[in-house]
Structure formats: C-alpha cells, structure tokens
Amino acid sequence: MEKHFLSAFVEGTERESPKPWYNPDGDCIVYQFGDEAIVADRVDEILTIYRSVETGKSIGYQIKGVCALGRKFGRDTLIVNCRQDREELKEISLCWLLLAAYEDGPKTIGRRQAYSDALEYCGPHPRLTTRDLDLVPA
C-alpha cells in the first residue's frame, strides 16, 4: 500500500538531540533542550534562562558576551583539548564559561540558583567546538 504524503508529520520523525550553537552576530551561545514554548528569564547581563511556559522548569539558556569572557579570563582557561577520530579538537567548556560568568557578578541567591540551573543542564553536549568560535586571536 502506498504511504500517505503527510504520514511523516502524523507519525513523527526522530530529531537530532539539541546542541549548543554559537551566534557570531550576537556573540552568544544558545542552548535549548526542549522543543516547547519558553519564557526568557534574564538573570544578568550575561545569562538568560529559558523556562517552559507550562511547567516553569528551566529548559535552556543563553550566554552573552562570549568573546569578552574569553578575553577577561583567558582563552586557555575556557578551552578543553580532546581527541576524536585521531584529530585533536579544541572545544570550549560550557561549564567553565558559566562559572567564569558567575564570577563576574554579585553573589545573590537568585543569581546563584539560575546559574545552578544552567550548570545542571550542560547536558550531553557540555562543549562547543572552537571551529565556529574564535574567542581570542591565538
């Protein structure tokens, strides 16, 4: 029997797991784990937490000023070396980036909780390759 042309939409298709991505125009990293409506909760000038409209649970975040953080704390403190398929990759650690951003502001309870939420959800992709991300000239 012939398959209906809309069957993929009805049955659903598998999607790739969400990954962080760098927006060079905004100099920010965006990472959203769930595919649902969100409310953006601006924590400070660096971190914005994305929360589910339905549950209020954090399902992602945005880190702004990535290049400025790299210059301030030094590229080497944020870059992690790893090997993949006999090729050495340079990656930025999202956890290190979040910790560096937290160091830069007031130590309030609400801010601490927001950064804790973001760190908890570094998820299965806690790093972003530096091929697309040039923090500081080498």
Amino acid at 69: L
pLDDT for 51 equals 92
Q: How far apart are CA 47 and CA 114, in angstroms?
A: 8
pLDDT, residue 93, reads 78
Tell me how many domains the chain contains.
Answer: 1
| 119-137: average pLDDT | 62
Amino acid, single-letter form, for residue 1: M
Residue 125, pLDDT score: 56
Segment holding 103, helix H or strand E = helix 94-103
In a domain, 76, yes or no: yes
pTM: 0.73
Token pair belonging to 79: 């870059």
Read off the pLDDT band of 109 (50, 70, 90): very high
Q: pLDDT digits over 61-95, tens only?
A: 999 988 888 778 776 656 655 545 555 556 777 88
Whole-angstrom distance, CA of residue 103 vs CA of residue 1? 62
Query: How far is the CA of 70 from the CAs of 14, 79, 126, 130, in angstroms?
Result: 36, 9, 17, 12
The string of pLDDT tens digits covering residues 1-21 is: 677 676 666 665 566 777 888
Q: Supply the pLDDT for residue 112.
A: 93
Residue 26 lies in domain: 16-129
Residue 1 forms part of a structural domain: no
User: Is position 25 within any domain?
Assistant: yes
Domain membership of residue 110 (yes or no) is yes
Q: Please, which pLDDT band fits residue 54 given cuts at 50, 70 and 90? A: very high
Domain membership flag for residue 138 = no
Which of the two residues, 79 and 59, has the higher pLDDT score? 59
Domain assignment present for residue 136? The answer is no
Whether 9 is in a domain gets the answer: no
Question: Does some domain include residue 106?
Answer: yes
Q: Encoding tokens for residue 127?
A: 């790093």
